Amino acid sequence: MSISLENVGRRFNRDWIFRNVNYNFTSGESYAILGSNGSGKSTLLQILNGSLGPSTGKVTYQLNDSVIPTEAIYEHLSLAAPYLEVIEDFSLTEMIDFHFQFKSLLPGISKADIIALLNLNTSPGKLIKYFSSGMKQRLKLALAFCSETPILMLDEPTSNLDTQGIDWYRDLVQRFAVDRLTIVCSNQLHEYDFCNHQLHIADYKKQPVTP
């Protein structure tokens, strides 16, 4: 699986967030997209996952030498991000069942395993609206990590997590991110220090504006 960016840029009105991004993401590698708050990390991630189009340039997705249309790339990726909503009126089991109508479970992982991973064996019927913000974030991460997709995208993955939650996240990375194309948007080292490639948004803000 690969994602290739060719002269990709994005602007809002007349203001460029970034431009002339040329970069390749490939399977089995992990990438950190780095920058300060508001720098455009999440915007670039949205372009990578096909939910936002670039203002200029081209994004190409390939799987086994076949090009995947942008409108179909969602089938091949899992995403966890603070701005993604879970369905508040669902119970935990209903949310898991709903999610896996659209994704496949990783081999060897069951719904019961996800509930155990969340340490909620005694609360499978608890409504999501009664979860703490940290528990909701854990749920988003568990659903993403346990989905059988070649691409894993994480935006500020430890948002709302305490120290124990951060350790739990890092255990997920070790168990479930191997051999996937993993992309992490962050400005906190503990979220991305396992990544072997770094893309700095600031590097794509220093170029002269093209008319």
Does 123 map to a domain? yes
Report the mean per-residue pLDDT for the chain. Answer: 93
Rounded to an integer, what distance in angstroms lies between the CA atom of residue 103 and that of residue 77? 9
- C-alpha 186/C-alpha 175 separation (Å) is 20
At 146-182, the pLDDT tens digits run 999 999 999 999 999 999 999 999 999 999 998 999 9
The separation between CA 42 and the C-alpha centre of its own chain, rounded to angstroms, equals 10
Q: How many CB atoms lie within 10 A of CB 62?
A: 13
pLDDT of residue 211: 46
CA distance 15 to 13: 6
With respect to residue 190, please indicate whether it lies within any of the assigned structural domains.
yes
Please state the domain count of the chain.
Answer: 1
The answer to whether residue 209 sits within a structural domain is no
* Alpha helix positions (H), the chain: 41-48, 92-99, 111-117, 133-145, 163-176, 189-192
Q: How far apart are alpha carbons 26 and 2 in whole angstroms?
A: 4
Q: What are the tens digits of pLDDT across the range 100-146?
A: 999 999 999 999 999 999 999 988 899 999 999 999 999 999 999 99
Which tens digits make up the pLDDT trace of 32-61? 999 988 889 999 999 999 999 999 999 999
Q: Assess if residue 60 is contained within a domain.
A: yes
Decide: 191 and 156 in contact? Cβ < 8 Å.
yes
* Measured distance CA(26)–CA(122) in Å, rounded: 40
50 occurs within a structural domain: yes
Contact 161, 80 (CB under 8 A): no
Please indicate, yes or no, if residue 91 is contained in any of the structural domains.
yes
Which token pair is 150?
């070649």
pLDDT tens digit string along 72-97?
999 999 999 988 999 999 999 999 99
Structure tokens at 180: 């996937």
What pLDDT, on the 0 to 100 scale, is given for residue 109? 95
- Cβ atoms of 176 and 24 closer than 8 Å: no
Neighbour count for residue 84 (Cβ, 10 Å): 13
- Look at the alpha carbons of 95, 98, 103, 108 in this order and tell me if their dihedral is positive or negative: positive
Share of residues in the chain with pLDDT > 90 (%): 89
Q: Are 63 and 1 in contact (CB under 8 A)?
A: yes
- Average pLDDT, stretch 8-24? 93
Helix (H, G, I), strand (E, B) or coil at 79: strand
Burial class of residue 33 (count of CB atoms within 10 Å of its CB; 0-12, 13-18, 19+): buried
Q: What is the CATH number of the domain that holds 72?
A: 3.40.50.300
210 falls within a domain: no
In contact, 28 and 181? CB cutoff 8 Å: yes
Q: Which domain holds residue 148?
A: 2-204
pTM (two decimals): 0.92
CA 183/CA 29 separation, integer angstroms: 9
- Asked if the structure places residue 172 within a domain, the reply is yes
